[in-house]
């Protein structure tokens, strides 16, 4: 299925990354989140995409396969399972290619051992994570508990609210990942079905423009080629068997990976307008949310303001690096912080609590999981409670 060497590549001109992301004209389209991710890949000058189907990710990689058939990618194939797909991505990136793949739920967990090695090997791959339930009983419904599994491997993790975010975050991810002072993978997450299979308006850059190709020699770790051995695929016996050497080398390298993660923040500011969005910064009560929960939180804030309540929103775009300083600054005078989520464990609430000195103001929830929607009314109940307002709750029989 290789597309290498074909002469039918579409006419796209290479433009500067800053121009494409920040200045190029945009055209408004009404498309699904899956289409938005594929459209970003179309403009990213990707060398190879490797697919393995799993709902609700399958449509993304199906569309990326169509891009290969149209000549926008040099190579594309279906792996035999998720671990193999993620390992093959690693090999392609080590060899100097710009690579993309996507997965969902159990697929992420199956490939996680390989994915967790990407940051340590300084592989600037881009991973789409279209979230779904991961635990028994089997379900394919939306739930983002799987993001919790990505937070401690070293990669940059972005969480998209809607179709526009999916396009912007994915295109920017290729640029951020390959910055020489970052050079680690970026995951672009969004809720399956709620975003991937629903349509929204997306302002997209022209399809006849694309990013410059990856330069694998502008890197802190050189690519594996005929002249350079795979030095970072460590097989040296003293490193493996000497406790002192093993501790020292691994500790230093982990520090560098996480320093690289932090250095990504300046590019998140440059290309995505910062790691958070704030609505009504002088509010007494804030809703802090990411992904689809931010969309529901936005509606709850609108309703609350219509009732004369001083409520604001903090939308978290970047989960890693986590915007610790920014969140502390915005919430320094808040009387209550409500964190709605699409998972049972409350991973975002834990992150917010960890950065606030007065974290007793954080209200973890409401939370829905297993594929349920998040009614605005549930967030409104938390808002009323924060203001001490007693509202008669309607019981639906």
The answer on 195 and 331 residing in a single domain is: no
Provide the residue-wise pLDDT of the chain in tens; the chain has 397 residues: 344 444 466 899 999 999 999 999 999 999 999 999 999 999 999 999 999 999 999 999 999 999 999 999 999 999 999 999 999 999 999 999 999 999 999 999 999 999 999 999 999 999 999 999 997 888 899 999 999 999 999 999 999 999 999 999 999 999 999 999 999 999 999 999 999 999 999 999 999 999 999 999 988 887 877 777 655 455 555 555 556 556 777 788 899 999 999 999 999 999 999 999 999 999 999 999 999 999 999 999 999 999 999 999 999 999 999 999 999 999 999 999 999 999 999 999 999 999 999 999 999 999 999 989 999 999 999 999 999 998 766 544 4
Q: pTM, whole model, 2 decimals?
A: 0.94
Q: Please identify which residue in the block is written with the tokens 């279906």.
A: 78
Instruction: Note whether 365 and 341 are within 8 A (CB).
Output: yes
Which tokens in the block code for residue 226? 């005929």
Report how far apart, in Å, the C-alpha atoms of 323 and of each of 251, 269, 327, 332 are. 24, 11, 6, 14
Q: Note the pLDDT of residue 365.
A: 93
The answer on 323 and 212 residing in a single domain is: no
The answer on 297 and 188 residing in a single domain is: no
CATH of residue 200's domain is: 3.40.50.970
Look up the domain containing 126 and give its range. Answer: 13-218
| Residue 230 within any structural domain of the chain | no
Rounded to whole angstroms, the Cα distance separating 25 from 209 reads 11
| Residue 253 within any structural domain of the chain | no
Task: Please tell me what DSSP assigns to residue 153.
Answer: S
The answer on 196 and 110 residing in a single domain is: yes
CATH of residue 294's domain is: 3.40.50.920
Instruction: Note whether 174 and 114 are within 8 A (CB).
Output: no
**Beta carbons within 8 Å of 187's beta carbon, 6+ residues apart:** 126, 127, 128, 129, 150, 155, 156, 157, 158
Asked whether the CA dihedral 314, 316, 322, 326 is positive or negative, the reply is negative
| Residue 380 within any structural domain of the chain | yes
The answer on 300 and 176 residing in a single domain is: no
Q: Note the pLDDT of residue 1.
A: 39
Task: Please tell me what DSSP assigns to residue 95.
Answer: T
Q: Note the pLDDT of residue 3.
A: 43
Neighbours of 4 (CB within 10 A): 8
The answer on 155 and 44 residing in a single domain is: yes
| Residue 3 within any structural domain of the chain | no
| Residue 312 within any structural domain of the chain | yes
The answer on 128 and 197 residing in a single domain is: yes
**Beta carbons within 8 Å of 227's beta carbon, 6+ residues apart:** none
Q: Note the pLDDT of residue 243.
A: 61
| Residue 270 within any structural domain of the chain | no
The answer on 194 and 59 residing in a single domain is: yes
Q: Note the pLDDT of residue 391.
A: 77
Rounded to whole angstroms, the Cα distance separating 295 from 293 reads 5
Q: Note the pLDDT of residue 253.
A: 85
Rounded to whole angstroms, the Cα distance separating 116 from 153 reads 5
Rounded to whole angstroms, the Cα distance separating 135 from 131 reads 12
Q: Note the pLDDT of residue 7.
A: 47
| Structural domains in the chain (count) | 2
The answer on 209 and 133 residing in a single domain is: yes
Report how far apart, in Å, the C-alpha atoms of 316 and of each of 11, 25, 324, 338, 362 are. 37, 26, 11, 13, 15
The answer on 159 and 280 residing in a single domain is: no
The answer on 147 and 281 residing in a single domain is: no
CA dihedral 350, 352, 357, 361 (to 10 degrees): -90
Q: Domain boundary residue among 185, 218, 251?
A: 218
**Beta carbons within 8 Å of 47's beta carbon, 6+ residues apart:** 73, 74, 75, 92, 97, 98, 99, 213, 214
The answer on 205 and 310 residing in a single domain is: no
Length of the chain equals 397
* Beta pairing, strands 311-316 & 276-279: antiparallel
Q: Note the pLDDT of residue 366.
A: 97
Q: Note the pLDDT of residue 241.
A: 59
Q: Note the pLDDT of residue 237.
A: 54
């Amino acid at each position: 299925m290789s597309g290498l060497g074909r002469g039918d590549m579409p006419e796209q001109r290479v433009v500067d990354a800053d121009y494409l992301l920040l200045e190029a004209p945009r055209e408004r389209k009404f498309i699904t989140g899956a289409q938005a991710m594929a459209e970003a890949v179309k403009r990213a000058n990707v060398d190879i995409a490797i697919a393995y189907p799993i709902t609700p990710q399958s449509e993304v990689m199906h569309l990326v396969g169509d891009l290969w058939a149209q000549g926008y990618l040099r190579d594309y194939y279906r792996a035999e399972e998720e671990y193999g797909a993620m390992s093959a991505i690693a090999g392609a990136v080590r060899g100097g290619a710009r690579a993309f793949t996507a997965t969902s739920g159990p697929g992420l967990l199956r490939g996680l051992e390989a994915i967790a090695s990407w940051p340590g090997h300084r592989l600037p791959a881009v991973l789409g994570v279209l979230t779904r339930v991961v635990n028994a009983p089997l379900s394919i419904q939306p739930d983002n508990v799987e993001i919790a599994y990505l937070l401690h491997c070293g990669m940059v993790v972005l969480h998209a609210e809607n179709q526009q975010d999916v396009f912007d975050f994915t295109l920017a991810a290729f640029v951020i990942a390959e910055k020489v002072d970052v050079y680690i993978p970026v995951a672009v997450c969004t809720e399956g079905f709620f975003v991937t299979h629903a349509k929204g308006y997306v302002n997209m850059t022209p399809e006849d423009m694309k990013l410059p190709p990856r330069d694998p020699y502008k890197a802190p770790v050189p690519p594996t080629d005929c002249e350079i051995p795979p030095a970072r695929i460590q097989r040296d016996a003293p490193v493996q068997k000497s406790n002192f050497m093993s501790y020292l080398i691994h500790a230093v390298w982990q520090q560098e990976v996480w320093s690289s993660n932090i250095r990504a923040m300046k590019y998140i500011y440059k290309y995505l307008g910062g790691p958070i969005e704030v609505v009504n910064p002088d509010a007494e009560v804030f809703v802090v949310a990411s992904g689809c929960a931010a969309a529901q939180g936005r509606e709850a804030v609108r309703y609350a303001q219509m009732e004369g309540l001083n409520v604001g929103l903090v939308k978290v775009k970047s989960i890693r690096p986590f915007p610790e300083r920014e969140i502390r600054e915005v919430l320094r005078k808040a009387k209550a912080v409500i964190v709605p989520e699409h998972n049972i464990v409350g991973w975002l609430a834990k992150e917010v609590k960890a950065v606030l000195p007065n974290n007793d103001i954080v209200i973890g929830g409401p939370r829905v999981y297993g594929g349920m929607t998040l009614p605005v009314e549930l967030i409104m109940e938390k808002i009323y409670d924060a203001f001490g307002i007693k509202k008669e709750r309607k019981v639906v029989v």
